[in-house]
Structures are given as C-alpha cells and as structure tokens.
Amino acid sequence: MPRHSTRPRTAPPRDDIPDVETLRTDQRERRDRIVDTAVGLMATVEYGEIQVKDIAEQAGVALGTLYRYFSSKDHVMAAALLRWSTGFGDRASAGRGTNAPQRVAAVYARAARAFEREPLVYGALMQLQASQDPHARACFATFATRQTAAFGTALPDLSPQTRTDVVNVMSAVLAEGLRGCATGSLSRAELRRRIARAAELVAGSAEATSPPRLDGSG
C-alpha cells in the first residue's frame, strides 16, 4: 500500500483575510485571544509540534473562526512572534553605556537573554523566516523592522546607513551565537564575549569613521 506524505501542502495565497484595523471590537478581542494563545504555545512547544486545532481549542474558538483571521499556522505564529516582541524596543533601548560599543553590547546581550529564556521562540523565528505564506512574511517583516529600530537606538549619533550596517552585522553575530547555544556548541558566556568583542570592533569603528548625520535629527 503506498505511503502518503504527511508534509502539509502549501495553500494558495488568500486575499480574504481582514485587516486588523477593520475588525469590530468583539472580532479584535477574539483575534487577540488566538494570538495570545499562540504566544504561549510558541514559548512552550516545539514549532513543528504545534497544531492549528490546538491553538483554536485553547483559545476557545472554532477552527473555522481561526481561519477567518489567519491564512495558515505560519500566519498565526508570525502574529504571535510580533506580539511576543511588543515592548522589545523599550527593553532594547534601555542599553546603558558611555560609548557606542558599550551600548550596542548591552542591547544585544539583552536580546540574547530574551531568547535564552525562551529558546523555543528562537526556533519558531527560524521556521517563520523561511515561510512562504505572504501574510506570515508580512508579519515577519514588521517584526524584523521593529528589531532593527530597537537595536538602532543604541547608535543615535550615527548616520542612518551606518546605523543599519552595524545592526546587520551585530544581528548576524547574535543569530550565529544563538544557533550555537541551541546546539550546545557555544556557551552563553562565550556568546556574551563575542557580542562584546563584535560591538567593540564594529560599533567602535563605525563611531570613529561615521560621517555627520544628514537626517536632520542631530
């Protein structure tokens, strides 16, 4: 008897998902309940083990109701990741230091601790980064933009382009370090050391060589 693949098929893009801003108060509350439930599952269950029906059941809604607001599991979970990151900018901007390298190191160390406390969230992030669902990709793009802005608060005196360049390099260092911690090939102490050293090299150099800001805010 032939075996059937259990790999889920890629559903065609849906254009009937309502914009959050157009929802009635009761609909928005229902959607929020679904997202909050997904946040809890994302932090406690491996991404591959999370089932849409479980999200609906724990949120107290019918499966069909969930699909009124979300196109797929990836869409629900991307919305959950976005919700999880709410306030991250405030935490990140709290980085303290007398110079750019110290501030950058503090910001990225905070980010590392957030993902270390909830490592399954980082696993979900990696999965969602490769999602083909356009609604999930839109949520993830908003998440990425939010993180870039939050990390950039440690570099207020740099030009926008230089700030973006530093954030991109430091984010790559953080991502590689978190992968190492997840596989056990890197200790948390070594991740902190790498973050501090990268901040010293990248942010310190950028601070020394950055041209004057042209965005009118400095």
Cα 94 versus chain centre, distance: 18
Low-confidence winner among 89-98, 100-109, 198-207 (lowest mean pLDDT): 89-98
Does residue 74 sit in helix, strand or coil? helix
- Mean residue pLDDT of the chain comes to 85
Are 80 and 59 in contact, with CB atoms under 8 Å apart? no
Residue 110 has pLDDT above 80, yes or no: yes
Q: What is the pLDDT of residue 155?
A: 83
Domain boundaries, the chain: 21-84, 88-209
CA torsion sign, 91 to 97 to 103 to 105?
negative
Distances (CA, A) of 41 to 46, 52, 58, 84: 8, 11, 10, 11
Q: Which CATH superfamily is domain 21-84 in?
A: Tetracycline Repressor, domain 2 (1.10.357.10)
Name the pLDDT band for 16 (thresholds 50, 70, 90).
confident
- The pair phi, psi for residue 10, each rounded to 5°, is -80, 115
Gap between the Cα atoms of 12 and 178, Å rounded: 33
Q: State pTM to two decimals.
A: 0.80
Place of tokens 């110079």: 99
Residue 2 exposed, middle or buried by CB count within 10 Å (0-12, 13-18, 19+): exposed
